[in-house]
Structure 1
Amino acid sequence: MTQGPGRNHRNGLTLQELLQMFPDNETAMRWFESNIWPDGRKCPTCNNPDTVPARHPKMPYYCYKCKSHFSVKKGTIMQQSKITYQQWAIATYQFMTNVKGISSMKLHRDLGITQSSAWFMVQRLRESWKELAGVDKMEGPVEIDEVYIGGIEKNKHADKKQAGSQGDANKVAVIGIKDRKTGTIRAKPKVFCFLKLGARLDTSVK
């Protein structure tokens, strides 16, 4: 069996490419919004789609049903934070792609924020994994990996091939966790490319 590439051969974005993808806070916010609400904006409180833009300085949307203002951050791991969308996007990518995770001190230096804010981000990012791991903790060391499901494009029939579908395009990304001690495996599809930031936040995390 051919040995897979080591960590030095992993594909990913360079820092320059990441900054080009999220050049400012507005671009990052629109990216989060399109992925958290792929079928259109909905109120995170009552799930009502009847919402409109508002002039509120921090909550730019208004829900007619529950008569409340909200932002893209509400109901996600980003809520109750003054950290910008651009900083959340960059931190999430670093958290997901570093083999051994990332420390709050590194985020503090890379993002130019306080160490306490960086620690807050790391804790929230770790909290978001609860949805995948489940409420109960696993017993032993765990392995985490991902796979793209959808078949190899060159092996498909001509009428099923899609232009520009090389790599992971038009495939479902599935991420899984295995408990080495018990053999328990849990897997779910990724909602979007970095992390499911739209997951509802555990209210025990402040």
Structure 2
Amino acid sequence: MENDNLDKLWEVQADNSSNITPQNIIAKAKKQRNGQYINITVMSLTVIVLITYAFYYAFYQWNTFNLGLVLMIGSLIFRVVLEFFSLYRKEKQLISMPQKSYYIYLKKYYKTRLLVNYIVTPICIAVYIFGFYLLLPYFKQKFSSAFYNYILISGIFSLTVVIIIIVKYVIKEQQFLKQLQTK
């Protein structure tokens, strides 16, 4: 994305009575996009680790352990694809729209993101947790109790940290939507 071209295009169209400047919108869009890249990277690395483990150790016979892995991997892949689609669609619109139209588009975009954040994300998290839950009996059987407790505690801790990050991200998106709606 060419920020210089966007700056020039939007400055020509800028309305002096508006409190939202092209630089503010571009800065917030870049910050939000960087956050999406971080989310995509973390989820993708988790998918790679789970797939690597699954192909090396798990898929010799089908059982609930494999079902758990498939649920975990599937929920993460769905979320990564959704983030990529959302990111691509927003950038495509940014390049093709004038400032005022993009401002209106951003309002719609963040309203749609609320649906993703409040419906799709909790479903993905629930599927991931259920998949992890299906793995626990196998972990308990195969590993020592100390290592099993480590897996259980670290899994719960990791999931809690991810949920906190998601909640912070959702709050930021809501604040940005409120800011867009008040102006």
Query: Structure 1 length as normaliser, TM-score?
Result: 0.24
Q: Higher strand share goes to which structure?
A: 1
The structure with more radius of gyration: 2
Query: Structure 2 length as normaliser, TM-score?
Result: 0.26
